[in-house]
Structure 1
Amino acid sequence: MKTLFTPIHVGNLTLPNRIIMPPLTRNRAGVKGIPNELNAEYYAQRATAGLIVAEGTYPHPTGRAYTGQPGIYTDEQVAGWRLVTDAVHQAGGRIFLQLHHGGRLTHSSLLPNGVLPVAPSAVRPKGKAHTSFGKADYETPRALELAEIPQVVEMFRYATERAVVAGFDGVELHGANGYLPHLFLSNLTNLRTDKYGGSVENRTRFFLEVVKAMVSINGGNYVGVKVSPWKFLPNDIEEIDTEAIYPYLAKQLSLLGLAYLHVQLPIVTFDNQPDAPFDLAKLIRPNFQGVMMVDGSLDREKAIARIESGDTDLVAFGRAFLANPDLIERLRIDAPLNQVDYNTFYTPGTQGYTDYPTLQQLNAA
């Protein structure tokens, strides 16, 4: 029987367990988006994960979503990430990088020359952006011109190329949670009448072009994809034809020989997050012929049940990994977990970042 601790082949890697550290935004890369030794320490502490997927990283300055977010565009950013990948590999770990274009979920103050955020259509999101001067209302984005779209696709191709140089074992496309690729999928945020809007085939076109561009650098084994069907209320994104678009998208992604497909399930700790009318993992599983990962506030028992049922091959633990650098050992022996300090998610420095104790440290104390 498969368990959380059964090894598995993912892309070009053999993972010693099926417990994944998913991308977790921490905003500790400074104003220039350059990872540093503190980031390297944080990821290396968690190298016992089957796989680490490093936090969402902008592929181009016009795709930056937050202050303090890392990039993979400049030589300095690549060198910073090399510190991280070297530290993780020296600790025996494996690490992918998530490529993340903010789309409309950013602010002109974070972008070069104060340009407006871009999206498939000029639909303003609810909520506020995190900027260097505090929270600010989201702006109405500028709809991408048809002639611009190949340039945006190229951003992801180039970022994948840079990730190879930075020493990553692979890359993941953030195609979820209301960011740019996801915006093209929803007919509530994609109002286009050209070849990128309207039908399911048209609305998935940009998404698939981006994935194919990423695959072109180092093959499908080097690329994972994250999706979040149904609703993601904090980022004001939802769909009305989930049951049509995701099986189609999953089938098309299957043809590319990807490392994995990462499915974000509804996160129960978000206020007013609605229950999906169907099991999203079961919706996608029959349509994707490859390794699948689920993510969504699962505890140990629920994760074991998902693996044993065959619904998924990998399970991601987000906040648990944030607060427990030795999460693998704690899950193995069913030990208590450290509690998450929500107040230090996005603050600078070591507090709530690299200072969570391991079981060994607690026992020694």
Structure 2
Amino acid sequence: MSELIDIHSPFMLGHIRLQNRLVMAPMTRARANADGTPGPFAAKYYGQRASVGLIITEGTQPSEDGQGYPMTPGIYTDAHVAAWHNVNDAIHARGGHVFYQLMHAGRMSHPDNTPHHRQGVAPSAIAPGEQIYTLGGMKDIPVPRALSIGEIQATVGDYAYAARRAIESGADGVEIHGIAYLIHQFLAISANQRTDLYGGTLENRARFAIEVAEAVVAAVGADRTGIRLSPGFTGMGLSHRSEGPDLFRYLVRELNKFNLAYIHIVHYGEDAILHDFRRIWDQAIMLNRPGRAREHIGEDIASGLADLESYGALVLANPDFVRRVTSGAPFNSADAGVYFGMSARGPEVGYTDFPTLIPLHGNANT
């Protein structure tokens, strides 16, 4: 493991001072209420994990059209804003900070999972060829409806509106989700066969992501805005044959003009493109390496390749993740069967019931 001073040194991220360089990655938990408000134990769940430098919430839909899965939270109604206040208060009370991840699922949706029960939307009317979970079981994802240019512009506005509502609810900022879902679907020729300003060339396919970032920055400020990308991601009907290094170098270079707080890279493959990003990106780089072994925690910070490192399942299963990294104590593990939705054994099982080394604020489960 790298020197702890690297991991645990504070870091200025935009307008906030993080207490360390470790980040809780966004993880869908599918435990929200049916109206999109955070569930009854969400404040407890996030508050338990507030010792990381930054919490990035589960994907949160910016509109009704943006919902892809059942029981995921939103941030576009007054009720959403009021309910998220409790979550933010729990995080801030323990010295943490939080960005909401704004996630529009695009074609990765099903009418049974949305409040208005409408067909999903996407750059083009191309189904991903996969199934999706619904409360009625696994179902084929229908062919989505292609967005008109006017609807694309309205969707850009939805992101900006949701970002304002997030800040209104007490969040420190927002992260634009650019992997697998609507933004990535615009990047990918396998999902985007448009012939207008939003399709064809890599510049056109990157246009939607750039417009969303610009609108969110205008709404809440560059220092409250991050974006998550993954040049090597495949899956969900996407092929990376046309989303290769040139497209992402162009996109990162254009996004750099907005002085965003950070880019959050989920990395697969060789590190060459990470070194390219380090050269062309002037702000913070957050790096997630899926499956990173414990002995490599902190290495990307120590090398200078990243400023922050994010972790998903390890933080899910270890509310005291930072303490365990510091002390060398063993990590809890979590059965993937408890990742999504409420357990039949109880609403806190696999959510807020993971053991800690010492009680958190007087109680190991609070």
Q: Please indicate, yes or no, whether the TM-score normalized by the shorter chain is above 0.5.
A: yes
**1:270 alignment counterpart:** none
**2:239 alignment counterpart:** 238
CA distance in 2 between counterparts of 1:122 and 1:356 reads 43
CA distance in 1 between counterparts of 2:210 and 2:248 reads 12
The TM-score normalised by the length of structure 2 is: 0.93
> Identity over aligned residues, as a percent?
39
CA distance in 1 between counterparts of 2:71 and 2:40 reads 15
Q: Note if 1:308 corresponds to 2:289.
A: no
- RMSD over aligned Cα atoms: 1.7
Residue 278 of structure 1: how far off its partner (Å): 5.3
1:277-305 Cα distance to aligned partner (Å, 9 max, x none): 55442342222111001112223332322
Letter in 2 for 1:321: V
User: Which of 210, 213, 216 is residue 214 of structure 1 equivalent to?
Assistant: 216
Residue 173 of structure 1: how far off its partner (Å): 0.2
CA distance in 2 between counterparts of 1:353 and 1:112 reads 25
Residue 134 of structure 1: how far off its partner (Å): 1.5
Partner SS state of residue 47, structure 2: helix
**1:60 alignment counterpart:** 63
CA distance in 2 between counterparts of 1:252 and 1:303 reads 30
- For structure 2, the 5+ residue unaligned runs are none
Q: Note if 1:289 corresponds to 2:282.
A: yes
Alignment of 1:73-88 (within 5 A): 73-88=76-91
Alignment of 1:120-159 (within 5 A): 120-159=123-162
User: Which of 165, 168, 173 is residue 165 of structure 1 equivalent to?
Assistant: 168
Greater CA drift, 351-360 or 237-246: 237-246
User: Which of 196, 202, 205 is residue 203 of structure 1 equivalent to?
Assistant: 205
**2:99 alignment counterpart:** 96
* CA separation of 1:50 and 1:210: change in aligned 2, threshold 3 A: same
Letter in 1 for 2:241: I
Letter in 1 for 2:120: P
1:183–1:190: 8 Å Cα contact kept in structure 2?
A: yes
User: Which of 104, 109, 113 is residue 112 of structure 2 equivalent to?
Assistant: 109
Residue 306 of structure 1: how far off its partner (Å): 1.1
- For structure 1, the 5+ residue unaligned runs are 267-275
User: Which of 295, 299, 313 is residue 319 of structure 1 equivalent to?
Assistant: 313
CA distance in 2 between counterparts of 1:263 and 1:118 reads 25
1:243–1:283: 8 Å Cα contact kept in structure 2?
A: no
Partner SS state of residue 285, structure 1: helix
CA distance in 2 between counterparts of 1:302 and 1:64 reads 35
The TM-score normalised by the length of structure 1 is: 0.93
